[in-house]
A = this chain, B = another copy of it.
């Protein structure tokens, strides 16, 4: 049966003398990688924590991070990838919530790890997986590999829990999504027809590896025995440079990253001819950004993946050939992968007629086991094997799914439902707008009013702002109905607050407007 270790063995067998990983000039073959994982797993197994116990990872992207992802289940434990954007208090929460007893960390998180060690009673082992000096309060990653003999992997597999992934969702407190070996594999497998990656290809880990989007990229690349290249963290110039120098063929980027790359001075001058496929997802793609990217790189194949951590994470894909068709289909999230079964349900739990909007509800082998230690939330989100995504969608006759919005992000104004994505797309198509988020703010008469929060492009100065608010609202009237147009716009200089997954944290944006009032929940 399927397990993360067995998939590593398979990938290594496909290409045993090929390069598995490259990080800051350091290359490891698939055969080496397998050997290192079997030794690291052996060292971890000697802690004798017991089957399914949790080991957390806190680090930037690296080859060691990748190895650890497999060494932990190799030893029979579950991996808990911590969010690198979280503060100490949040990661401390995740460690306690998951009952994690081992923490692996790198140079970037050495001081946070030391604090976490003191704050978290149940932490028994800390492992330093960086390349410098191991602090005296931690064990050395390389020494564990050097001093242990390879062992056979744990037999945990299939529906056994492989990891707990804390959600970077836009609402509520973080929940630990329990994912099985089977689910992680099945989700990646569903994207294989779109991934089209073989041994001769190279995948760049540019998005954070703790997030399930890049985790799926890891798995897809592993399924082909292809090469992994890691950069510590996203930086637009570094991504462009790495693509050119390492002949990257595949990568995964969130829309905000694509936007930053497009805005970078080297975007038009770097040789990206090696690049074959860019996956994007994790947050809605503004139409204008996609158009700009497709115009700048006409030969590149774009694939959209829509999903969420609870589905490990892929639900639908919009294929490269769909992108080439262009037109309205570009607004869709694509079609169910071969492992995914989707229904759209109304508020009474009935299937909506074709063409009508309902909550996206998903079944498949990639569905989560549930939320860790949260039986009530699990019972709400997982019913008879169906995961309730909280997203609202519409199907067209060809099975393309259009995500209209996060159900909970919808603005209800004067009894009309306004889907914020539609308003955001209208605003961002204006030259002056660099980034945007649309929220509902309190309104005495209508309950909520549509409000736009706009970051201007560098060409526009604040002095113009007075006239610009009116101009932007008029601009929206050209493409969307009047009741959907923003009633007010505020301008912002700082970037929009993002979750670890790159999703705009609308709860934070709403907070100042709703202080002291209770927002009506639809």
Partner-B contacts on A (CB < 8 A): 1-2, 6, 9-10, 13-15, 158-159, 182, 189, 192-193, 196, 199, 223-225, 336, 338-339, 341-343, 363-365, 385, 398-399
Q: How far is the CB of A194 from chain B (nearest CB, A)?
A: 9
Residues of B close to A10: CB separation below 8 A: 341, 363
Given contacts A1-B385, A189-B189, contact A9 B365 (CB under 8 A): no
A399 near B14: Cβ-Cβ < 8 Å: yes
B13 near A341: Cβ-Cβ < 8 Å: yes
A365 near B14: Cβ-Cβ < 8 Å: no
The oligomer's copy count stands at 2
A189 near B336: Cβ-Cβ < 8 Å: no
B343 near A189: Cβ-Cβ < 8 Å: no
Q: How far is the CB of A81 from chain B (nearest CB, A)?
A: 24
Q: How far is the CB of A40 from chain B (nearest CB, A)?
A: 22
In the bound complex, CA of A196 to CA of B1 (Å): 26
In the bound complex, CA of A385 to CA of B153 (Å): 14
Q: How far is the CB of A278 from chain B (nearest CB, A)?
A: 19
Residues of B close to A193: CB separation below 8 A: 192-193, 196
Residues of B close to A365: CB separation below 8 A: 1-2, 182
B338 near A189: Cβ-Cβ < 8 Å: yes
In the bound complex, CA of A192 to CA of B335 (Å): 15
Residues of B close to A343: CB separation below 8 A: 13
Partner pick for A339 among B158, B189, B199, B399, CB 8 A cutoff: B189
Q: How far is the CB of A513 from chain B (nearest CB, A)?
A: 41
Given contacts A338-B223, A363-B6, contact A398 B158 (CB under 8 A): no
Given contacts A199-B399, A365-B2, A398-B199, contact A341 B9 (CB under 8 A): yes
Given contacts A192-B193, A199-B399, contact A6 B338 (CB under 8 A): no
Q: How far is the CB of A262 from chain B (nearest CB, A)?
A: 31
Q: How far is the CB of A309 from chain B (nearest CB, A)?
A: 19
- List 13 interface pairs A-B (beta carbons < 8 Å), by A numbering: A1-B365, A6-B363, A13-B341, A13-B342, A13-B343, A14-B336, A15-B399, A189-B189, A189-B338, A192-B193, A193-B196, A223-B338, A224-B338
In the bound complex, CA of A2 to CA of B158 (Å): 12
Residues of B close to A338: CB separation below 8 A: 189, 192, 223-224
Residues of B close to A1: CB separation below 8 A: 159, 365, 385
Q: How far is the CB of A279 from chain B (nearest CB, A)?
A: 16
B341 near A6: Cβ-Cβ < 8 Å: yes
Task: Select from chain B the residue with minimum beta-carbon distance to A363.
Answer: B6
In the bound complex, CA of A182 to CA of B6 (Å): 17
Q: How far is the CB of A385 from chain B (nearest CB, A)?
A: 7
Task: Select from chain B the residue with minimum beta-carbon distance to A157.
Answer: B385
Residues of B close to A199: CB separation below 8 A: 398-399
In the bound complex, CA of A193 to CA of B192 (Å): 7
In the bound complex, CA of A338 to CA of B224 (Å): 7
Q: How far is the CB of A352 from chain B (nearest CB, A)?
A: 13
In the bound complex, CA of A199 to CA of B395 (Å): 15
Q: How far is the CB of A152 from chain B (nearest CB, A)?
A: 10
Task: Select from chain B the residue with minimum beta-carbon distance to A200.
Answer: B398
Partner pick for A158 among B158, B192, B225, B364, CB 8 A cutoff: B158
* Most chain B CB inside 10 Å of its own CB: which residue of A14, A342, A343: A14
In the bound complex, CA of A85 to CA of B224 (Å): 40
In the bound complex, CA of A159 to CA of B2 (Å): 12
Q: How far is the CB of A226 from chain B (nearest CB, A)?
A: 12
